[in-house]
A and B are shown apart, each in its own frame.
Chain A
Amino acid sequence: MEKLKHHGRKERLTIAAMAVALLGGVLLSFALGRYPISPKETIGILLAKIVPIEPFWTERMAIVLYNVRLPRILLACLVGCCLSSAGAAYQGIFQNPMAAPDILGASSGAAFGAALAILSGASTRMVSLSAFFFSLLTVALVWLLSQRARGKKILGLVLAGIMVSSLFSAGTSFIKLVADPTNQLPAITYWLMGSLAGAKMSDISFAILPMLVGLTPLFLLRWRINILSLGDDEARTMGVNVGRLRLIVIVSATLVTSSAVAVSGTIGWVGLVIPHLSRKLVGNNFRHLMPATMLFGALFMLLVDNISRNLFAVEIPIGILTAFIGAPFFLSLIIRGDGR
């Protein structure tokens, strides 16, 4: 029993260290950019909102910080957190460490919705809304189709996801074909690459509610996802209402994926790689894996976004960078084995 008292202590310490690293990363990120703002000035400007402080910074610094850097940093963290936790959740319920947030078609649905909105000349806000709406619609369609499929529920879901995804991808291709090649087609292509450039506070206020509504159950139900990962029969004989729990997890993971994709475009690899990295740090138990993945995903996305906006004179869309980092990383995992 003595030994068991410390059960999970190492994992909790790792998670706490991640939280500290994320906080530090956020503060440092404020200082990065073409217009330099020191961490001291950052803290001053942020605190000035709550307690009166005599400004030792310029007015312009405050404007850059609030209107440019803050939304971008927040959005990077939120999107990273959402995509990673959705990936981890899907991996649990599909009992497959290769599952990614777009397994049920959330990304291809969002891409179609965005392309359609761009084609009809809608505003940026409408593009996000349309992407969000179509993303949810796609997953709902996949769910309904899978309920009619005979045999194993999970296989039905995965297959329906593949089919409906390819249907919407074909739709996106068709829209690209008929889109105006001078302005619409580049806009669609750029959206599909995924980018956090031009993030505004309004993006945050648009996405934060569905994100929180999805992240909360994913966090609260994290331990139960372990039991789902054992398979339906086993989970049911352990007293878990499998159908209901799986539906809640799918709805939550879809909400966070859809809202992330709607404001950032399709950013691949994060939802696959971050849960894996987190497993190396805190193990497979979702009780610790879920918070670790959420924090690590936010930190990773923040880091990649800092590279994306600072390393080169021209900004590289973050979706390209995550793939550049994600694919070699995954190859190295396959070659070295993951230590099991």
Chain B
Amino acid sequence: MMLKVQNLSFSYPKRPVLRDVNFTIPQGRLVSLLGPNGTGKSTLFRCILNLLSNFQGKVLINGVDTSDISLPELSKLIAYIPQVHYPAFNYSVLDMVLMGASAHLSSFSVPGTKELKRAQAALELLGIEEFAQRNYMQISGGEQQLVLIARAISQNSKLLIMDEPTASLDFGNQTLVMRCIKNLVKQGYTILQATHNPNQAFAYSDQILAMQGGRIIADGTPQEVVNGELINELYGIKTRVESLEEGRIRFCVPLEI
């Protein structure tokens, strides 16, 4: 068992967001969290990452309650990969990836050979080592997302939380990023990603969590839980789930245009 969320509830002062969320993610799985905008996916992530601490319930990583460990210790277990964004300063790709070492360094130290090696390994794992000296803002959106993932890898945590890693990427880059993510799972990483694309959930995920109104309404393999009904319940549109290549590829298409 890697990540376990138990009876998690969270409310903003006047608005309940998460209601009694329960799920378990075993090690080495790619899990997709589906759900409409504003249903609490980001809030759930913020609770898991301990960015929000005043929630009810428990978040356990390898059986350890996250509220019992310090932020630097937690960041060695779990890394967060935000959506591609534009930092205020245009750092080089290598500098960006090196920042993942912050939890492993004391406040007054700067990255050394050990951190450089780890950053290099992370860049190689994602196949972007040739970008090391380029500037983050001069590479494509897909490559930027891979840099952010490489930074999480150099953070040395095995559990990765990704907030819509393929949002705002073009068709080719979406596939590039998802392939890299799938490859990480093969290497033993555990990944929980939020996504708005049910087809991605089919194509890559081992497990689907569907969230509606702050509750988990479905939890299982894509084949078990993703069907027209679920999509309709989540997004309010009629869809049909179809198969190609003798069921090897499954996809859903909206029936109302």
Contact = CB atoms under 8 A, between A and B. Distances in A.
B24 interface: no
Interface string A96-115: 11000000000000000000
B88 A226 contact: no
B99 A238 contact: yes
A235 B78 CA distance: 13
B95 interface: yes
Contacts of B46: 233
A49 interface: no
Interface string B81-95: 010000111111011
B80 A237 contact: yes
B108 interface: yes
Interface string B43-71: 00010010100000000000000000001
Contact of B72 (A1, A7, A239, A287): A239
Interface in B105-127: 107-111, 116-117, 120
Contacts of B116: 4, 7
B103 interface: yes
Contacts of A222: 110
Contacts of A221: 107-108
B88 to A, nearest CB: 4
Interface string A231-254: 101111111110001000000000
A223 interface: yes
A285 B92 contact: yes
A237 B75 contact: yes
A116 to B, nearest CB: 36
Interface string A1-34: 1011001000000000000000000000000000
B92 A95 contact: no
B79 interface: yes
Given A233-B80, A239-B74, A284 B91 contact: yes
Contact of B111 (A3, A220, A223, A241): A223
Nearest to A238: B102
B88 A229 contact: yes
A285 B93 CA distance: 11
A270 B119 CA distance: 35
Given A239-B74, A239-B76, A223 B103 contact: no
Contacts of B103: 238-240
A223 B110 contact: yes
A215 interface: no
Interface residues of A, number: 35
Nearest to B151: A238
Interface in A263-313: 279, 283-285, 287
Given A96-B88, A238-B102, A226 B51 contact: no
A224 B107 contact: yes
Interface in B162-216: none
Contacts of B79: 237-238
B49 A240 contact: no
A96 B72 CA distance: 26
Nearest to A217: B108
A3 B110 contact: no
B76 A229 contact: no
Contacts of A284: 89-91, 95
B51 A233 contact: yes
A163 interface: no
Nearest to A279: B89
Contacts of A91: 88
Given A236-B51, A239-B102, A240-B102, A226 B95 contact: yes
Interface string A176-197: 0000000000000000000000
A227 interface: yes
A1 B80 CA distance: 27
A91 B111 CA distance: 22
A241 B117 CA distance: 25
Nearest to A287: B110
Most chain B CB neighbours (cut-off 10 Å) among A238, A279, A285: A238
Interface string A248-262: 000000000000000
Nearest to A241: B71
A229 B90 CA distance: 11
Interface in A199-224: 220-224
Nearest to B100: A238
B145 interface: no
Contact of A238 (B87, B107, B111, B155): B155
Contact of A97 (B75, B88, B91, B117): B88
B95 A239 contact: no
A340 interface: yes
A211 B51 CA distance: 35
Given A4-B116, A239-B74, A224 B102 contact: yes
B133 interface: yes
A4 B94 contact: yes
25 contacts: A1-B117, A3-B133, A4-B94, A4-B120, A4-B132, A91-B88, A92-B89, A95-B87, A220-B107, A222-B110, A223-B109, A223-B110, A226-B91, A226-B95, A227-B102, A233-B80, A233-B82, A235-B102, A238-B100, A240-B71, A240-B102, A279-B89, A287-B110, A340-B90, A340-B135
8 closest Cβ contacts across the A-B interface? A239-B103, A239-B75, A237-B80, A239-B72, A95-B88, A284-B89, A220-B108, A223-B110
